Amino acid sequence: MKQKLMEMLELRKDEMIQIRRHLHQHPEISFQEEKTAQYILGFYKGKDVEVHSNVGNGYGIIVTIKGGKPGKNIGLRADFDALPITEEADVPFKSVNEGVMHACGHDGHTAYLLVLADCLIELKDEIPGTIKIIHQHAEEVPPGGAKSIVESGLLDDLDNVFGIHLLPMGPSGFVGYNSGFAFNGRAYLKLKIQGRGGHGSSPHLANDAIVAGAHFVTAVQTIISRRLSPFDIGVITIGSFDGKGTFNVIKDSVELEGDIRYMTIETKEKIEVEVKRLVRGLEEEFGVTCELTYENDYPPLYNDPELTAKVAGYLVGANDPIITEVKEVPPMSPSEDFAYYAEKFPSCFFYIGCSPKGVEKPYYNHHPKFDIDEDALLVAAKAVGHVVCGYYEEN
């Protein structure tokens, strides 16, 4: 099966590139991917598979490939939403949707998985188990699509889930992996501080919300420096402080927004407790009232160590000349809603190098000039294909 699959994928490399370019040219932002979903559904039309559409809280699609033999059930996931970014990459298939761009590689994720899935459909009689292809909407915007797809119950029979991400962390042929906590979790906070306005000449008759807010911006950083162990990872960013007014008027209210990152569940819980404690103290110290919105978006992504070790072994043992390096890499600081699959099923999420050829310092994901080496699409398809074949050979 492995040899057949690899030969089929190699013959369809150009098709992967064509699909990626079509999707790149017609991007749609999270929760608005109607035409992208229609394109994906059209790809599977007439094929001998079970298809569920509009899964979860948007345009999620699950395609079930039932193998010809009994065995374990796995999921392969790719996301398909784009970003609200105006494209600056100099490519002939530039986005035609103004202000929207596939700046994170999800077009490539979908392209490789469509072709891989089609090849697996052709070989399904040789598959000892069931493979569910998870085309996921809305990875970029909380609450995301993954959580609702998991909650749909359509994946309850899975044993494991696998996914990849195109990252310019190396050239095409590089495959990276990380065992344990691999991506940060993320939370969002909004704090409205209500004081009492007044004239700058009479501060004693007012209650300055800006002073209270400024104190919070400084104090909240002590959670990281004085409440977390030096061995824990946490970041708090206050990215918005809406306190604009007139130079000689004391503001009666301000509103702050922040982004919080953490690598473990314990750190997540510690930061939330401490933020709420600081807000209560702010009210007491400055005599203001506070309205705090604190939302946990995506949990930390945990790669099952045993499964991840097997994935690395499958990739190294493949001896595929297109996979030039398989290497363990440090944890990633962004967040990923693949974490919801990994919460429910032992999972592995790994990385495919895609730095454009001849570019020493490639633009990273989410940059308006982000681009990939399209050779990485075949690497992604073959890498996941090797994992599927290695998994079923072992199970």
- For tokens 């596939």, the residue is 102
Structure tokens at 229: 């162990």
- For tokens 């990276």, the residue is 176
Q: How far apart (Å, rounded) are the C-alpha atoms in residues 254 and 96?
A: 39
Instruction: Tell me the CA end-to-end span of the chain in Å, nearest whole number.
Output: 14
Q: How far apart (Å, rounded) are the C-alpha atoms in residues 162 and 304?
A: 11
Question: Shortest CA distance to 148 belongs to which of 160, 158, 136?
Answer: 136
Catalytic residue among 81, 107, 297, 374: 81
Active site residue 34: no
- Specify the pairing of strand 289-296 against strand 325-328: unpaired
131 contacts 76 by C-beta, under 8 angstroms:
yes
Residue count of the chain:
395
- For tokens 């990626």, the residue is 20
Structure tokens at 279: 């807000």
Catalytic residue among 33, 139, 140, 373: 139
Whether omega for the bond prior to residue 143 falls within 30 degrees of 0, making it cis, is yes
283 contacts 216 by C-beta, under 8 angstroms:
no
Active site residue 14: no
- For tokens 């998870």, the residue is 134
Q: How far apart (Å, rounded) are the C-alpha atoms in residues 4 and 2?
A: 5
Per DSSP, helices labelled H in 123-204 are 146-151
Q: Which residues carry out catalysis?
A: 81, 139
